[in-house]
Amino acid sequence: MILLQTTDPLAGIDINFSTNMVWVMNLCVAIIMFSVALSMKKEDFFMLAKNPKQVLVGLSSQLFLLPFLSFCLVLLVQPYAGLALGMILVGSLPGGNSSNYFSLIGRGNPALSVSMTAIASLLAPIFTPLNFSFWGSRVPYAAELFRSIELSFWDMAKSVLLMLVIPMILGIYFAKHFPAVTNRIKGTMQGLSLVILISFIVFAFSGNISIFVQYYDQIIYLVLLHTCVAFGAGYYWGYIFTRDKVVARTISIETGIQNSGLGLVLIFTLFQGQGGMALITAWWGIYDIFAGLAIAYIFRWWVDRKELASSKIAI
């Protein structure tokens, strides 16, 4: 039985973020996507035709399974309304660019990871607003807050298009037509993009640290649960349908690493910086980096351990 929550202490908090900062955030997300796209090729999008099963299983985990499980987790745990919608928004976002790096560390399939990131980002203008609208409107006790943010499907789709798809297309075009320059700047740009991502999330978070300290007990366990569900569900979903552990590890990481930077921009651009949504998305962005590294090294350790055991048996 669902116990409807009538009060949300996070609803009226004043998030410290100006309009100018929102423009900076938009620019940061676009630069990050452009730098990621420098390593993409048009062939990455054709992997769906070459190996449709792996790609479709991965995309279904990210675009359908995670938003549904985020909704189920919200109904089970029943956090404050703003936190609940924040969890559903995070679950509706496309994968983060760091997932490709984590897949490489975690003995996954980097090519599959890049293809999933590329295709999911291309589909994000449709699926991000669609999933958030569909599942967010079905949280009973968050109905009033959901209506108050005046979500426009097209405004959200346009924002995602401008921040993800257009920079991605420009990055792929630049890499194709200026390969020499791309080879010189690619490593620097990608390293810089990670620094930008971390800095901009920490910056958004640090200005509101006092609010986080006040409500940390509501936020930390939610993000921990949510990421565990995402990584675990992604792995078993991938393994059940492909019976390939390399693919399963890749899908796990792609499902668990979300584009929190995009989420923050959407919150401050379209949702009036709603307190609970902003705090949980910012904390997810910080925690996700450490969780991604942790799961990648756990996968790496597990694979190396198995290979070492197999070599000893062979001897």
- 26-56 confidence digits (pLDDT tens): 777 788 788 878 877 777 777 777 778 999 9
- pLDDT confidence of residue 84: 95
- 113-165 confidence digits (pLDDT tens): 888 888 898 899 999 999 999 999 999 999 888 887 766 788 888 888 888 88
Least confident of 68-72, 77-81, 289-293: 289-293
User: Average pLDDT over the chain, rounded to whole?
Assistant: 84
- pLDDT confidence of residue 2: 38
- pLDDT confidence of residue 251: 97
- pLDDT confidence of residue 197: 66
Bridge partners of 258, per DSSP, are: 95
- pLDDT confidence of residue 302: 93
Tokens linked to 147: 């209506």
Return the percentage of the chain with pLDDT > 90, whole number. Answer: 37
Decide: 92 and 131 in contact? Cβ < 8 Å: yes
Cα–Cα distance for residue pair 53/116, rounded to 1 Å? 12
- pLDDT confidence of residue 233: 97
Q: Which domains does the chain have, with CATH numbers?
A: 19-306 (1.20.1530.20)
- 182-214 confidence digits (pLDDT tens): 988 887 886 777 677 677 667 766 666 777 788
Tokens linked to 49: 């035709």
**pTM of structure:** 0.86
| pLDDT for 102 beyond 50 | yes
Decide: 231 and 287 in contact? Cβ < 8 Å: no
- pLDDT confidence of residue 185: 87
Which of 125, 165, 164, 129 lies closest to 149, judged by CA?
129
**What is the identity of the amino acid at 35?**
S
- 160-170 confidence digits (pLDDT tens): 888 888 988 89
- Average pLDDT for 258-280: 84
